[in-house]
Structure 1
Amino acid sequence: MTRTPLRLVVLGDSIAYGTGALRAEDTLGRRLSAELAADGFDVELRVLAVPGAVSGDLAAQVRRAEAFDADLAVVVIGANDLARFVPPEQAAAALAAAVTALRARGADVVAVPAPDMSMVPVVPPAFRPLVRAACVQLQQRQAAVVEAAGGSVAGVAAEVAGAFAADPAMFSSDRFHPSSAGYARIAAALTPSVLAAARGRRDEAAA
């Protein structure tokens, strides 16, 4: 079977980078690459994500990605915007600019909006409804601007939140970042969106 070359770039924050994973193979980028390889893609991966990044930091990551000439970009961002109380409109505008720039260079974009931070163990139960509401507000703004800029949205937060809330093993020892098991759960939820984007690109090239 002829394999399809695919340059994959992962941008965003510590979740995109893989903080908390025990092995490099457990990180989001490596797991997604393995799934793409199993689907017939010859993947070249670049992880340009920076732990601690907010949406405003994506511009620098996008500039670094230019030389790579990516076919597919996965952007995971929003947790730090929430933690640092960045206004949703400001965060969404920065994400929109990043997606627009990536699309202008010919990359397909799959964006993963902010996680549900109310599931993080260090959040007191009394504050969880308020935190959840803030997360939903940012997620909705992120989804709207990504779609308007021509990207696709992988709304995995609702799908994985229950697993993280129910199983402390989903978190690493810092009780904030995902563990290797947590990254496996996130990757499983994200894989269909990434495969759909890559297959669409492959089909378009073959047409």
Structure 2
Amino acid sequence: MTTLRFRVLGDSLAAGVGCTRVEQSIGHVLTGALRAAGHDIELSVHAVPGARSADLAPQVRAAVAAGTDLALLVIGANDLTRLTPPAVGARLLQDAVAGLVTAGARVIVVTAPDMGVLGHVPPAFRDMVSQASRLYATAQADAATTAGATVAHVGPEVFSRFAADDRMFSADRFHPSAEGYAVIARELTPYVLAAAQPV
């Protein structure tokens, strides 16, 4: 059986900040799903909490040096909080995806989340923040697709669950809890399983 080298890149969501155990993080949950589907998986997580799109290049270099067959890239939340222009973030993401694809990886991109669901966003500004999140995610999706990635669409029903249920968040009210990560991972599983199939 061929071992699939699965690499997870991006920010704190990719790194699993908010989990109480590493096994609850997205990369590990998805690795479990891949193994349950019969794949032999070697996982490494290159994600860095706090990372923005401008910080992806070193992660890509590390993943390429380690050898990558399948890559999950989660980025955008910190770009939004730091007001990175969509065109700038999208270009940086496109470069990161292109680097992975050129190295032979199949890449799945998870775009920026809807930051309007965060409890500390004042109600009067939530629609505006949600709209900005969608615009940023759309620019990311276009760039990622252009570079050869598959964009995993986390639907609005997932963000609605986060908005309605405090249990989706960890104690900091910013990062997901283990339950929140499980919900996100379920959305991503079909994309990861499809990308893991032989071409």
Shorter-chain TM range is: over 0.9
Q: Cα–Cα, structure 1 residues 45 and 108, in superposed 2: closer, same or farther, change >3 Å?
A: same
Query: 2:145 matched to 1:147?
Result: yes
Identity %: 53
Contact 1:102 1:109 in 2 (8 A): yes
For the residue of structure 2 that corresponds to 1:6, the secondary structure is: strand
Amino acid at match of 1:87: P
Deviation of the 1:5 alpha carbon:
1.4
What's the Cα RMSD here?
Answer: 0.8
Contact 1:169 1:182 in 2 (8 A): yes
Counterparts of 1:33 and 1:121 in 2: how far apart (Å)?
31
Q: Cα–Cα, structure 1 residues 49 and 143, in superposed 2: closer, same or farther, change >3 Å?
A: same
**2:175 maps to what in 1?**
177
Deviation of the 1:45 alpha carbon:
0.3
Counterparts of 2:42 and 2:101 in 1: how far apart (Å)?
19
For the residue of structure 1 that corresponds to 2:44, the secondary structure is: strand
Amino acid at match of 2:188: L
For the residue of structure 2 that corresponds to 1:109, the secondary structure is: strand
Counterparts of 1:159 and 1:45 in 2: how far apart (Å)?
29
Deviation of the 1:159 alpha carbon:
3.8
- Cα deviations by residue, 1:166-201 (Å, 9 ceiling, x for unpaired): 1100000000000000000000011111111111xx
Which residue of 45, 63, 67 corresponds with 1:69? 67
**1:136 maps to what in 2?**
134
Counterparts of 2:2 and 2:158 in 1: how far apart (Å)?
30
TM-score (norm 1): 0.94
Which residue of 10, 13, 18 corresponds with 2:11? 13
Deviation of the 1:54 alpha carbon:
0.4
Counterparts of 2:90 and 2:107 in 1: how far apart (Å)?
15
Query: 2:50 matched to 1:52?
Result: yes
Counterparts of 2:2 and 2:181 in 1: how far apart (Å)?
26
Contact 1:115 1:157 in 2 (8 A): no
Counterparts of 1:159 and 1:63 in 2: how far apart (Å)?
35
Amino acid at match of 1:15: L
Structure 1 runs of 4+ with >3 Å offset: none
Q: How many pairs does the alignment contain?
A: 199
- Cα deviations by residue, 1:17-58 (Å, 9 ceiling, x for unpaired): 000001111000000000000001111001000000001100
Amino acid at match of 1:94: L
Matches within 5 A, 1:110-125: 110-125=108-123
Amino acid at match of 2:123: P
**2:185 maps to what in 1?**
187
Counterparts of 2:156 and 2:110 in 1: how far apart (Å)?
11
TM-score (norm 2): 0.98
- Cα deviations by residue, 1:58-112 (Å, 9 ceiling, x for unpaired): 0111011122111000000000000000101000000000000000000000000
User: Any stretches of 5+ residues in structure 1 without a counterpart?
Assistant: none
Counterparts of 2:157 and 2:88 in 1: how far apart (Å)?
26
Deviation of the 1:157 alpha carbon:
4.8
Query: 2:99 matched to 1:87?
Result: no
